[in-house]
Amino acid sequence: MIDRLDTDKWLKRFEINEFPEPESITLKHPVLLCHGYGAIASLVKPSPLYDVAMLLRTHNVPAFAPNIVPYAKIETRAEGWVQLIQELTEEVPSGKVNIIAHSMGGLDMRYALAKLDIADQVASFTTICTPHRGTSLAELTLKTPDAIRDKLADFLDWMGDRIYPKTKSDSVGSAEQLTRKYVTEVFNPQVPNVPDIPYYSYSSAVGKGTNAPIRVIARYQNKHIFDLEGINDGMVSVASSKWGEHIKTLNLSHLEQMNLRVKDDRQEIYQQFWIDIVKMLRENGH
């Protein structure tokens, strides 16, 4: 038995690294993480992107993941982000932040940049799986029979009002703004990119049409979006996620991107994804 033991491999575990600490990443401006639609993540953590902020902080990146109303129209949510940006930049020497927005948060911030005079306080803008051309999942949700949809909306608004009582929730109104028709025919023509601010984007694809896994509970919506829009992360298609300079396509589900329901063997993928984003910002001088 001892003769068959690979002692070199076993002792390798005790080999120490010269620098065991997480890599230090220095940016010119802090990072503001803007979350998307919904309140599920807020039930299990301080904010939907809290884990991401804590991960980035271990790499010396000042990152903030505040909360705004989870269910409200883009215009209302954008006003909430602007207020937080103004508070944050008052404490920042450079007076600017790098914005990384997930999902609907990207639409909120596109609106804020174009309509709410916040551009001078933003150094860069990165979106993660934002439905820049809408999502057929929103349309599927809105096609639910009226009786069921109304009860679900009442529950979501009730939950949203208790999680974030500062602003009245509107789950149906916000879902309508995520449809492909609204985003492509109304929102995009009225909300142009702001000159002199770099717009970066990341997309993601799992499940049908890929080799990346997706949980059984999300397979129906994943297939629904695939049939209408192509490969997707379970909520937003790759085609819809691309905006500005598209950096890459990931292999994480929409929930995994927020560190929700991430299996142990995929934790490294989740962590490396977010570290790569801030490294991209560093390389581009932000």
Q: State the pLDDT at residue 10.
A: 65
Sequence-ordered alpha helix ranges (H) in the chain: 7-12, 50-57, 74-89, 104-115, 136-142, 146-163, 171-176, 180-182, 188-190, 219-229, 238-241, 267-283
For every one of its 286 residues, what pLDDT tens digit does the chain have, with 9 covering 90 and above?
555 666 666 667 677 777 777 888 999 999 999 999 876 766 778 899 999 999 999 999 999 999 999 889 999 999 999 999 999 999 888 899 999 999 999 999 999 999 999 999 999 999 999 999 999 999 988 887 666 666 766 767 666 677 778 878 777 888 899 999 999 999 999 999 999 999 999 999 999 999 999 888 889 999 999 999 999 999 999 999 999 999 999 999 999 999 987 777 889 999 999 999 999 999 999 9
Sign of CA dihedral 277, 279, 285, 286: positive
What is the model's pLDDT at position 151? 73
Cβ contact 209:222 at 8 Å: no
Count how many Cα atoms sit within 13 Å of the Cα of residue 213 in the half-sphere of its side chain: 10
Q: Specify the pTM.
A: 0.90
Q: What is the pLDDT of residues 71-111, one digit of tens each?
A: 899 999 999 999 999 999 998 888 999 999 999 999 999 99
Find out whether 52 and 63 touch, Cβ atoms under 8 Å.
yes
Query: What are the boundaries of each domain within the chain?
Result: 24-203+238-283
- Token pair for residue 206? 């799992």
- What CA–CA distance (Å, rounded) separates 30 from 93? 10
Helices 267-283 and 50-57 cross at an angle (nearest 10°) of: 60
HEC string of 215-227? CHHHHHHHHHHHH
State residue 173's pLDDT score. Answer: 82
| Closest to 116 (Cα-Cα) out of 86, 94, 93 | 86
Q: Are 31 and 66 in contact (CB under 8 A)?
A: no
Distance CA 51, CA 150 (A): 33
24-203+238-283 classified as CATH 3.30.1510.10: no
Q: Which amino acid is at 187?
A: F
Q: Look at residue 81 in the predicted model and tell me its pLDDT.
A: 97
Phi, psi of 127 (to 5 degrees): -115, 140
